[in-house]
Chain A
Amino acid sequence: MTSGPGDPQLSRDAAGNGSGDLIDAVVMLCRDLRDRGVSVTPSESIDAARTLGHVDLGDRDEVRLALRTVLVSRREDFEAFDAAFDAAWRLPGGMAAPIPMPHLRADVRRPSNQPPKKNAPVSLQNWMKPNDGTSADDPIKVRAASDRESLGERDFSVYSADDAEEFRRLARQIARRLALRKGRRWKVAHRGERFDLRRTVRASLRTGGDAIHIVRRTRKLRRTRLVALCDVSGSMELYARFLLQFLHALQNTFARVETFAFATRLSQITGHLRGLKYRESLIGLGRDVRDWSGGTRIGVSVREFVDRHAELIDRRTIVLIMSDGWDVGDPQLLADAMRDLARRAGRVIWLNPLMGAPDYTPDTRGMQAALPHVDVMAPGHNIESLRAVARYLSL
């Protein structure tokens, strides 16, 4: 039943329905999807065209479900797909072929590898400019940046964007802590470090007393997962850019990390960070995270995390929340969400960059609501403070 792109069945079907329009419509749908931040590979476009040879083109819903199966690969993109499909696929009274909409044709001619300008938040664009962390009236800028000690203590708000290596080093340290901690229990393992005499002798009974099957054992590994929720609202802007760079480094050093950004709502950004250069990540984030530098609704965001991503949280999960605690939402909502989170996670750590200031007290309503459910509250305003937190990052 398998058929290739040049398959006769497809050309026959497609020709019967005016192949030009059909293929056009698919191509445009794919372009529109890319503009909406859903990545579509050429091979998926080809599969989409092949799909049309297999479905009832007069049945709009069937076309939609079939194309969605082929073109979308995660549930989060369903909404974007349905919107794009609605725009591209109109079926005026009884016509069997879809009519590509002219406005769309004009719209999608934009080169799709560049983010639509109007969507990228201004602040994110600034982040891509090199080294604007030290402003003219900043006394700290005279310090030598090569001095690791002073670099580590410097507040992120006066940080230079070129210090990425520092983040990578820290990420590696943390990854080592998180990675493979040997547990207490033993298990049988081919390349175990200890000889398991009991099992070996037992196994040798099957082979007439000759120890053919040698059994070894090793300590079971304990695996920890890290979930980071980073506040990217306006008030956190100075810090978020560096915390994000740190998370980017961490995401690419250690596999069991899931990263989320939130301001008024929650976005999973693991895919935006993993395997990409930091700069590419920022482009992707600017395109897909809509509420960047907006207000903060921590409670709603934590709630959404607990409800929608319950499968990520268990006793072996460390949740790292990075936020200044300025919440415009209902404190009770935040308290409830934090309670549920704390009940299920192995550890909840709250990094508050404002704690870097000597006279800071956590008396915002948001902080007050969250504090009872936080295991560790620590500053996260410079490299040194992140390094200090690293020791809480193993269970």
Chain B
Amino acid sequence: MNDDIRRIQEIMEREAYITDRQIATSVFLATALGKPLLVEGHPGVGKTEIAKVLARMQSADLIRLQCYEGLDATTALYEWNYPRQLLHIKLEEHSSTSLADREATLFSDAFLLKRPLLAAITHLGTPPVLLIDEVDRSDEEFEAFLLEVLSDFQVTIPEIGTIKAEHRPLVVLTSNRTRELSEALRRRCLYLWIDYPSFEKELRIVRSKVPGLSEQLARDVTALLQSLRRMRLSKLPGVAESLDWAAALVALHAVHLDEEIIRDTMGCFLKDDADFQVLERELANGHLAALTSVAI
């Protein structure tokens, strides 16, 4: 194994992000090749967390752009601070400064509201980590705009001129696949798919994130969640749900899993009434032991 990849894996684990070879390799390549990393996977498998850990690893700032339907360039890139500009005009009404000077002041950095993309481009010092979260939620038009920014990391503001990034930020994009991303954007990025973790990996995650949990309970929680993911549920629980549940069990001072405590707490990991009924049925049929046994 490449030493750098091993090191990244170690550092990520030290930052309490339990990882595997695929994740470490992709993260390493993103830094080595300087390309954006597109992370896809089911909800709750730790896609966003990668960017956060990456920022901590590099002691870099994390700049986050949360995408949503209708997100446009002004919200993502920059906007002039109009109220402040107008106030400034009022204040300067009777001053003797020339019009050109006044205008130059009015359209200077001080009146520029930097949104995440511009903030990432103009960032000084260590290149920041730019997290473009849930990019699948944005519109096609925005995706095209994003592609432009990601290809040369420069933007043109008519009143100021072209601003180019001195150091390219490290870009992480995440997608929940609610919409197929454009081929062009995919091509621009390295690709990482995060699957639901294996039993061993999830057990390590639960152990490290919920320290108060007994070893047996950690195993049972993980095994049950793993079994649930193999069942036909309308909303499969992610790792985030395992952790919520584990934390709830610690708070309730649970010692071991029984049907009663599962019934009381299953809202932590199931989010759909029909799924409740599926699990109820399994429990009523006395399948608890089977659900918490580790499948090979």
A positions within 8 Å CB-CB of B: 1-3, 39, 41, 43-44, 47, 50-51, 54-56, 59, 61-62, 65-66, 68-70, 72-75, 78, 206-207, 210, 212-213, 221, 223, 255-256, 258, 268, 270-271, 275, 307, 309-312, 340, 343-344
> Which of B26, B82, B234 is within 8 Å of A69, CB to CB?
B26
Evaluate contact between A70 and B234: CB separation under 8 angstroms: no
Evaluate contact between A212 and B29: CB separation under 8 angstroms: no
Given A2-B34, A56-B1, A212-B86, verify A62-B29 contact (CB < 8 Å).
Answer: no
| Residue of chain B at shortest CB distance from A55 | B2
Q: Can you list 17 A-B contacts (CB < 8 A)?
A: A2-B32, A2-B34, A47-B33, A54-B29, A54-B32, A56-B1, A61-B21, A69-B29, A69-B190, A73-B186, A73-B189, A74-B186, A207-B83, A213-B82, A268-B180, A271-B183, A312-B178
Give B76 Cβ to nearest chain A Cβ, in Å. 15
Query: What residues of chain B lie closer than 8 Å to A309, measured between beta carbons?
Result: 177
| Residue of chain B at shortest CB distance from A268 | B180
The docked-state distance in angstroms from the alpha carbon of A310 to that of B178 is: 9
Give A142 Cβ to nearest chain B Cβ, in Å. 44
The list of the 7 closest CB pairs from A to B, nearest first, reads: A2-B34, A73-B186, A56-B2, A75-B193, A65-B25, A69-B26, A73-B191
Query: What residues of chain B lie closer than 8 Å to A70, measured between beta carbons?
Result: 29, 33, 190
Query: What residues of chain A lie closer than 8 Å to B192, measured between beta carbons?
Result: 69
Given A70-B29, A213-B82, verify A311-B177 contact (CB < 8 Å).
Answer: yes
Give B67 Cβ to nearest chain A Cβ, in Å. 15
Evaluate contact between B180 and A69: CB separation under 8 angstroms: no
Instruction: Answer yes or no: B198 CB below 8 A from chain A CBs.
Output: no
The A/B interface has a contact count, at CB < 8 Å, of: 105
Given contacts A54-B32, A62-B1, 18 further A-B contacts (CB under 8 A): A1-B34, A3-B32, A39-B183, A56-B2, A65-B21, A66-B25, A66-B29, A69-B25, A69-B190, A70-B33, A73-B183, A207-B83, A212-B82, A213-B83, A275-B183, A309-B177, A310-B235, A344-B234
Q: Which of B1-40 contact A (CB under 8 A)?
A: 1-2, 4-5, 21-22, 25-26, 28-29, 31-35, 38, 40
Of listed B69, B178, B189, residue having the most chain A CB within 10 A: B178
Evaluate contact between A59 and B2: CB separation under 8 angstroms: yes
Evaluate contact between B232 and A307: CB separation under 8 angstroms: yes
> Which of B22, B86, B235 is within 8 Å of A65, CB to CB?
B22
The docked-state distance in angstroms from the alpha carbon of A61 to that of B24 is: 13
| Residue of chain B at shortest CB distance from A314 | B178
Query: What residues of chain A lie closer than 8 Å to B256, measured between beta carbons?
Result: none
Query: What residues of chain A lie closer than 8 Å to B32, measured between beta carbons?
Result: 1-3, 54
Evaluate contact between A343 and B274: CB separation under 8 angstroms: yes
Give B202 Cβ to nearest chain A Cβ, in Å. 19
Given A51-B29, A55-B5, verify A62-B177 contact (CB < 8 Å).
Answer: no
Give A73 Cβ to nearest chain B Cβ, in Å. 4
Give A220 Cβ to nearest chain B Cβ, in Å. 10
The docked-state distance in angstroms from the alpha carbon of A310 to that of B180 is: 13
The docked-state distance in angstroms from the alpha carbon of A288 to that of B235 is: 30
Given A41-B187, A65-B21, verify A310-B193 contact (CB < 8 Å).
Answer: no
- Band of interface residues on B: 35 or more
> Which of A56, A69, A212 is within 8 Å of B191, CB to CB?
A69
Instruction: Answer yes or no: B284 CB below 8 A from chain A CBs.
Output: no
| Residue of chain B at shortest CB distance from A76 | B193
Of listed B25, B90, B140, B168, residue having the most chain A CB within 10 A: B25
Give A82 Cβ to nearest chain B Cβ, in Å. 12
Evaluate contact between A78 and B193: CB separation under 8 angstroms: yes
Query: What residues of chain B lie closer than 8 Å to A56, measured between beta carbons?
Result: 1-2, 5
Evaluate contact between A207 and B86: CB separation under 8 angstroms: yes
Given A51-B33, A207-B87, A343-B234, verify A62-B69 contact (CB < 8 Å).
Answer: no
Query: What residues of chain A lie closer than 8 Å to B176, measured between beta carbons?
Result: 311
Instruction: Answer yes or no: B179 CB below 8 A from chain A CBs.
Output: yes
Evaluate contact between B191 and A311: CB separation under 8 angstroms: no
| Residue of chain A at shortest CB distance from B40 | A75
Q: Which of B159-195 contact A (CB under 8 A)?
A: 168, 176-180, 183, 186-187, 189-193
Query: What residues of chain B lie closer than 8 Å to A343, measured between beta carbons?
Result: 234, 274
| Residue of chain A at shortest CB distance from B32 | A54
Give A332 Cβ to nearest chain B Cβ, in Å. 13
Evaluate contact between A310 and B5: CB separation under 8 angstroms: no
The docked-state distance in angstroms from the alpha carbon of A270 to that of B177 is: 13
The docked-state distance in angstroms from the alpha carbon of A270 to that of B140 is: 14
Evaluate contact between B2 and A72: CB separation under 8 angstroms: no
| Residue of chain A at shortest CB distance from B37 | A69
Query: What residues of chain A lie closer than 8 Å to B193, measured between beta carbons?
Result: 75, 78
| Residue of chain B at shortest CB distance from A187 | B70
Query: What residues of chain A lie closer than 8 Å to B180, measured between beta carbons?
Result: 258, 268, 270-271
Give A93 Cβ to nearest chain B Cβ, in Å. 19
Query: What residues of chain A lie closer than 8 Å to B232, measured between beta carbons?
Result: 307, 340
| Residue of chain A at shortest CB distance from B140 | A255
| Residue of chain B at shortest CB distance from A190 | B74
| Residue of chain B at shortest CB distance from A311 | B178
The docked-state distance in angstroms from the alpha carbon of A196 to that of B29 is: 50
Evaluate contact between A62 and B187: CB separation under 8 angstroms: no
Query: What residues of chain B lie closer than 8 Å to A221, measured between beta carbons?
Result: 70
> Which of A74, A78, A206 is within 8 Å of B83, CB to CB?
A206
Q: Which of B54-110 contact A (CB under 8 A)?
A: 69-70, 82-83, 86-87, 90
The docked-state distance in angstroms from the alpha carbon of A223 to that of B137 is: 12
The docked-state distance in angstroms from the alpha carbon of A74 to that of B193 is: 8
Evaluate contact between A212 and B83: CB separation under 8 angstroms: yes
